């Protein structure tokens, strides 16, 4: 049983490191290399976590400053809306049962 708990804890820590490294504002994008549509989707999906991480690290932001413009915005908002919309749909199914 202890081995299983250590494996789960290790996977959790590894997952948090991966998410932290992909957070907006971490320095992976610049004026010449801007975040695009797919980065916008990813940043929208991890927005709740980056909000929490941003409290502890001032370099982490929810929204990437160096982005491609409208396409990044579109991907970001599609991901944010679908995430919260999915929560709403799951709550409705539980209430109806």
Averaged pLDDT, 35-53: 85
Report yes or no: 73 and 41 within 8 Å, Cβ to Cβ.
no
Q: 35: helix, coil or strand? A: strand
User: Which sequence spans correspond to the domains of the chain?
Assistant: 2-96
Summary mean pLDDT of the chain: 79
How confident is the model at residue 51, as a pLDDT?
85
Q: Cα angle vertex 37, ends 42, 31, to 5°?
A: 100
Q: How does pLDDT run across 54-93, given as a tens digit for each residue?
A: 888 777 788 888 888 899 999 999 988 887 666 555 555 5
CA 61 from centre of chain: 11
How far is 50 from 90, CA to CA, in rounded Å?
23
Tokens of residue 5, six digits: 């708990």
Q: How many CB atoms lie within 10 A of CB 95?
A: 7
């Amino acid at each position: 049983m202890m081995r299983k708990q250590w494996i789960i804890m290790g996977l959790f820590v590894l997952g948090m490191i991966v998410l932290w490294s992909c957070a907006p504002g971490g320095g992976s994008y610049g004026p010449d290399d801007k975040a695009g549509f797919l980065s916008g989707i990813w940043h929208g999906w991890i927005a709740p976590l980056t909000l929490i991480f941003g409290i502890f690290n001032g370099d982490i932001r929810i929204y990437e400053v160096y982005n491609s413009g409208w396409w990044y915005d579109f991907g970001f908002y599609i991901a944010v809306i679908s995430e919260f919309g999915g929560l709403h749909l799951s709550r409705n199914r539980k209430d109806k049962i």
